[in-house]
Structure 1
Amino acid sequence: MPTSETVNWRSATNMGFKRSPPPFLAVANKTNKQVFRGELHHPAEPAGRAVRHRAAQHLGVSTGGNYLFAFFARNSTPSDADKRRFVGNLVSLYQNHVKALYVLGARKFAVIDVPPIGCCPYPRSLHPLGACIDVLNELARGFNKGVRDAMRGLGSNFQALKYSVRSSHAVVQSIMKHPQRLGFKDTTNACCGSGRFNGKSWRTPNATLCGNRHEYLFWDLLHPTHAASKVAAAAIYNGSLHFAAPVNFRQLVEDQC
């Protein structure tokens, strides 16, 4: 389940925004590209300060499972060394992006980790027994640990940097472990789709559609329902350190330092 726009929107509304902050390129494309590129080398120039202010006010950062799916598509039986090398490179790339945003003026980072993507309807449809795909879940756990460690290191090296890593992984695991407590009845099938687990295709005119989507964890072959996103957003905004650390999103927003 890659990072969901619905989860981002729910989290953003909890923080007082009307919508999710736009991605990095959406801001960059509205800014003079020569000035934007020059900002990395001349942060003291007046034009650079304007870019930094824009970046700090309007940029949102999140992790996602798409890279992990792409790696799995190329190599479905990777060795331990393959997995370590891939995850290490991806975490390094992510860390460099955060540093670049810091240079542009961003000081607070609300990070969303990768859920147990091997348990989405699509991966399940690939398994002979319909079980979760362990390799994908291993990659997610390794990447999540790497991101947490990277953010901890950045927080130590850059005193003004504040962050919270939201564990969508922990939220989805909680829903799958105790679905009825949270109002869910189906945590394996997609509400909308076709084929095994409704996980063989995207939403098409011939797709099967459930009549009680609020009882499903998954909307389609990879993404959560609005109901699941609502639970996740509440958990990370006001929840315990099990769902967001070292502080939850509300504490991050209210931190005036």
Structure 2
Amino acid sequence: MKHSAPEHRVPGTAKQQSLQMASQTASYVVVALCLLVLVARHAEAKQPRLVPAIFVFGDSTVDVGNNNFLGGTRKEGKANFPQYGVDFPTTKPTGRFSNGFNTADLLAQLLGFPLSPPAYLSLNRRTVRSQMFKGLNFASAGSGLGDHTGRSVVGEVITMTQQVESFATVVKHMHQSSGSRRTASLLSKSIFFISTGSNDVFEYSFSRSNDRKFLAGLVAAYKDYLKALYHLGARKFSIVSIPPLGCTPLQRLRRLEQMGTQGCFDPLNDLSLGSYPLLAAMMEELAHELPGMAYSLGDAFAMVSFVFANPHTPDWSKQIALARLLACANTPWISSNCDFAGLLL
């Protein structure tokens, strides 16, 4: 299962590509923090386990360390630096693009798990077999819905095609270990959490041609992956849409340079906004097409915009300040261009 429609190489110099990756890194931090503060209060209390397993796919918004095990991934695609993990229980970087838990962790906590299932590449054959009935995380920072997304900037990533293929291998092990009936029953009750697409939009925005065709290809690729997971046994999907990418630090500077005004870079936000109704329509159509499929679609654009519009709410004022700090810390212009007072809000 290969996908080329939504793929776009980032043009320009290596420096421009590095800046674009820095913006992506900052966006993951900001988006993850904004989503986390909206659900963290609900995840604090211990919950009974509501599903048997969680399987996670996507990019760095949900990666819990897979990229740490890729030899060909550049430093831009890894979260092994001191600013990450400061609020994680170990206070050390874990490969999460977050100060502590990420979105996958808090979803898992809401469902009664201590945190996200472990990174698939962190396990060996024996530990995979002991963990697979409780869930696994296949996500890779820098990846997208296109098979070449992220590679020109990050280097090696685990593509969505490869993530689904790895899950297919796990399903074979589950069948061998427990039989088809038990495996099918467990998978049908499990949650499949997916957060992807932002990297595709970032890369396309530097070489825009036909927005409608691009977004249609993006959603078509998404549909193919969902169908592949369904045919492997998945039934319950939790999807997070594309957030307001035009509000990341580099895109705000992009607007300032091109338009002479401060604020979010609207052309990129238009792509983010345009993807949501197409994704929503596709999910609804797919649910009618595939018996037993159920899904939730989180509107990340609306959620993040709400947090940006309400920065002084006591429950998350500290997290917003940290989002500013981490976003700036991941940009090469921190010494001269990173305005903590107005960068994000």
User: TM-score w.r.t. structure 2 length?
Assistant: 0.47
Change (3 A) 1:29 1:103: closer
Identity of aligned residues (%): 26
Alignment of 1:118-157 (within 5 A): 118-128=246-256, 129-157=261-289
> What is the aligned counterpart of 1:23 among 130, 138, 151?
138
Contact 2:197 2:218 in 1 (8 A): no
1:61 match: secondary structure = strand
Following the alignment from structure 1 to structure 2, what is the Cα–Cα distance between the partners of residues 20 and 216?
A: 33
Name the aligned partner's letter for residue 110 of structure 2. Answer: N
Alignment of 1:17-96 (within 5 A): 17-21=113-117, 22-23=137-138, 25=162, 28-29=165-166, 32=169, 57=190, 59-73=192-206, 75=207, 78=208, 82-96=210-224
2:331 match: secondary structure = coil
1:192 paired with 2:340, answer no
1:7 paired with 2:103, answer yes
1:181 match: secondary structure = coil
Change (3 A) 1:98 1:31: closer
Name the aligned partner's letter for residue 325 of structure 2. Answer: C
Q: Displacement of 1:55 after TM fit? A: 5.8
Alignment of 1:79-228 (within 5 A): 82-128=210-256, 129-181=261-313, 183-184=316-317, 190-192=324-326, 194=328, 200-201=331-332
Which residue of structure 1 lines up, in the alignment, with residue 121 of structure 2? none
Question: How far does the alpha carbon of each residue in 1:54-86 deviate from its partner, in whole angstroms, 9 at most, with x for none?
Answer: 76547532233111111113x1xx35xx11011
Question: How far does the alpha carbon of each residue in 1:16-62 deviate from its partner, in whole angstroms, 9 at most, with x for none?
Answer: 123324127568548759969xxxxxx9xx97667766765475322
Following the alignment from structure 2 to structure 1, what is the Cα–Cα distance between the partners of residues 293 and 171?
A: 27
Q: Displacement of 1:157 after TM fit? A: 1.4
Contact 1:184 1:217 in 2 (8 A): no
Question: How far does the alpha carbon of each residue in 1:122-174 deviate from its partner, in whole angstroms, 9 at most, with x for none?
Answer: 21122223321111111111112111111000111123001000112111111
Name the aligned partner's letter for residue 312 of structure 2. Answer: Q
Q: Displacement of 1:15 after TM fit? A: 1.3
Following the alignment from structure 2 to structure 1, what is the Cα–Cα distance between the partners of residues 181 and 165?
A: 14
Change (3 A) 1:106 1:8: same
Q: Number of residues paired by the alignment?
A: 197
Change (3 A) 1:168 1:86: same
User: TM-score w.r.t. structure 1 length?
Assistant: 0.61
Name the aligned partner's letter for residue 294 of structure 2. Answer: K
Following the alignment from structure 1 to structure 2, what is the Cα–Cα distance between the partners of residues 145 and 201?
A: 35
Q: CA RMSD in A?
A: 4.1
Change (3 A) 1:127 1:200: farther
